């Protein structure tokens, strides 16, 4: 299983490591897409631009994130495509990774908390 939905993400939030694989300006809320009424990131998410992730190996990623083996990682972006690439890359490196397909587009439309 590689996808996770908003319900499972919010119910299991404390068990998961959430990676925001968007550009830094999307993550910090300084700029975003007009289709989203809110800008920022999911509380507690770790910023890890997919472009950087794709250039790294397992050891580098594990050191960067400080994750013990077996930790479940969920990636998200704006609309689910960059996070799908990140999920595939992470799984190829041996991580237990899933894609939040609804990503920021879905999350920002909700009234759930966010961070800037």
Predicted confidence (pLDDT) per residue in 89-99, tens digit: 999 999 999 99
Per-position pLDDT tens, the chain of length 116: 579 999 999 999 999 999 999 999 999 999 988 899 999 999 999 999 999 999 999 999 999 999 888 899 999 999 999 999 999 999 999 999 999 999 999 999 999 999 99
User: Within a domain: residue 85?
Assistant: yes
User: Within a domain: residue 97?
Assistant: yes
How buried is residue 90: exposed, middle or buried, by Cβ count under 10 Å (0-12/13-18/19+)? buried
User: Within a domain: residue 28?
Assistant: yes
- Give me the pLDDT at residue 82, please: 98
Our count of domains for the chain comes to 1
Q: What is the pTM of this model?
A: 0.94
- Domain ranges, residue 38: 3-109
CATH code, domain with 80: 3.40.250.10
3 state DSSP class of 63: helix
User: Within a domain: residue 116?
Assistant: no
User: Within a domain: residue 65?
Assistant: yes
User: Within a domain: residue 115?
Assistant: no
Interior/surface letters 3-42, b for 16+ CB within 10 angstroms, e for the rest: ebebeebeeeeeebbbbbbbbeebbbeeebeeebeebbbb
User: Within a domain: residue 90?
Assistant: yes
User: Within a domain: residue 55?
Assistant: yes
- Give me the pLDDT at residue 70, please: 86
- Give me the pLDDT at residue 1, please: 57
């Amino acid at each position: 299983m590689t996808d996770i939905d908003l319900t499972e993400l919010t119910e299991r939030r404390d068990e998961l490591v959430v990676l925001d694989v968007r550009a830094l300006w999307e993550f910090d809320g300084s700029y975003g897409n007009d289709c989203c009424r809110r800008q920022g990131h999911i509380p507690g998410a770790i910023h890890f631009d997919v472009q950087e992730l794709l250039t790294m190996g397992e050891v580098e990623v594990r050191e960067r994130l400080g994750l013990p083996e077996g930790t479940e990682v969920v990636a998200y972006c704006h609309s689910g495509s960059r996070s799908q690439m990140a999920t595939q890359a992470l799984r190829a490196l041996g991580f237990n990774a899933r894609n939040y397909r609804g990503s920021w587009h879905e999350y920002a439309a909700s009234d759930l908390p966010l961070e800037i």
